[in-house]
Structure 1
C-alpha cells in the first residue's frame, strides 16, 4: 500500500481519457476568475449543479483564490488531488472548464474517495463514468489503494444511477444506505455508499477506458 509520504510524487498533474483532459486544479492551470465565474452565482445553473454537493457556491473572487490555494495545499500534503475537467478532441466545448474531479485519500483506512462537480452544459455525455475510470486507475494503479468508495446523497437519483453503472462495470458493489452519514451545510444527510476494491477492479480490466498520463511520456 502507498503511504502519504510518497503520494505527492504519484498524483499525475495531467490525465487524459478518450474524451477528457484532467489538469491539476491549481493557479498554474486555472485562474481564480475562471473558477469564480463557474462556481459562483455568476453561473446561472450553479444551484442545480451543487444541490447535493457538500460545498456552497463561491461568494467572492477572493474566495476562489482561497479555494485554489487550499487545493494546492491538500495536493502538497497528500490529502486530496483535484483536477479541472475539460473536454478534448472533437468534443463540444473542447478546452472549456467543465467542472472538477477529486480524489480524497484516507491513507489510514487504505481508502480513496472519488468526487466530481460537473457543470450542467456537460451533463448527459457520460463524462462522470469516464472520469471515474481515470480516478480508479490513479487510485489502484498509481497509489495502490485497497478500496475506492463513492458516497452519494440519498436524494440524488441522477448521480446514483450513473455511479451504479460504472461501479458495476468495474466489479464493485452497492453497500447500502448510511443514515445521517454526512452533512450538507448544517443539515444531516443520508448517503448511498458504493465501493470497488483493487482486486475487483483488476479482475474487470476489460471494462477499463484507456487512461494516459502525458507528463510520463
Structure 2
C-alpha cells in the first residue's frame, strides 16, 4: 500500500494522483502550454512557467509519479464531480512532507474557470485531514506571493477557519522568472485543526 492515497474526494471535488500509469500528460500540456487560455495569470505568482513543448509535461508527470511511489511527495489532479465542468481538469494540488520535521507544505493552482468557487478552501480541508489523520504529521504550512491577493484571501479564510496563524513574510524565499521574491507563510498545527474542524472531516 502506498504512503499516499491514490484517490480522494471532498464534497464537490475528486483528487486523482498525477501518475504516468493513469494520466495522459497531453491533458496537462493542453492547459499549461504557451498561449493556453489564462496561462499568464496562472503563472504570474508561481515558480514554474508555461510549457513550450509537450516533453516538459511528460517529464513532470513522470517525476510526480516517481515521488508518489517513493513516498516523497504527492501531486493530484483536481476534477469537479458534478455540474457543467464535471470531470474536467481543474488544476493540481500537492502535499510535500518533510518527514523529519513532521511537517507538510501544501500547494495548488487552478485554471481560471475554477477560480472564486471556494475550491481552494475545500481542497485545503481535505489535505489537512490527509496530513494529520493518515500521514500523522504535526504541522501544515502554506505560502503565497505577497502580491497575490486572490491566494491571500483564500488562504487567510481557511487558515482562520482551522485555527492556524500567519507566521510572517520570508524575504527572498522564492525565485520567479529568475528573480528572488518574498513569500508570506502560514501554519496550522494538528491540535488547532482538531479543535476547529467541528465535524468537517469526511
Structure 2 residue corresponding to 1:76, chosen from 62, 69, 72: 69
Residue aligned with 1:177, SS:
strand
Q: Does 1:105 align with 2:72?
A: no
Measured in 2, the distance between the counterparts of 1:201 and 1:92 equals: 33
Higher RCO by CA contacts (8 Å cutoff, separation 6 or greater): 1
Structure 1 residue corresponding to 2:46, chosen from 43, 48, 53: 53
Deviation (angstroms), 1:49: 0.7
Q: Does 1:182 align with 2:174?
A: yes
TM-score using structure 2 length: 0.95
Structure 1 residue corresponding to 2:165, chosen from 150, 154, 173: 173
Contact 2:2–2:71 (8 Å) recurs in 1: no
Structure 1 residue corresponding to 2:120, chosen from 105, 125, 128: 128
1:28 is aligned to 21
Measured in 2, the distance between the counterparts of 1:109 and 1:186 equals: 29
Contact 1:169–1:207 (8 Å) recurs in 2: no
Deviation (angstroms), 1:54: 1.0
Residue aligned with 1:139, SS:
helix
Structure 1 residue corresponding to 2:4, chosen from 8, 11, 17: 11
Measured in 1, the distance between the counterparts of 2:5 and 2:127 equals: 10
1:44 is aligned to 37
Measured in 1, the distance between the counterparts of 2:99 and 2:71 equals: 9
Measured in 1, the distance between the counterparts of 2:174 and 2:60 equals: 21
Aligned-residue RMSD, C-alpha: 1.3
Deviation (angstroms), 1:140: 0.5
Query: In structure 2, do the counterparts of structure 1 residues 185 and 106 end up closer, same or farther at CA, with 3 Å as the change threshold?
Result: farther
1:5 is aligned to none
Residue aligned with 2:153, SS:
helix
Gaps in structure 1 of 5+ consecutive residues: 1-7, 212-217
Deviation (angstroms), 1:33: 0.9
2:143 is aligned to 151
Contact 2:105–2:141 (8 Å) recurs in 1: yes
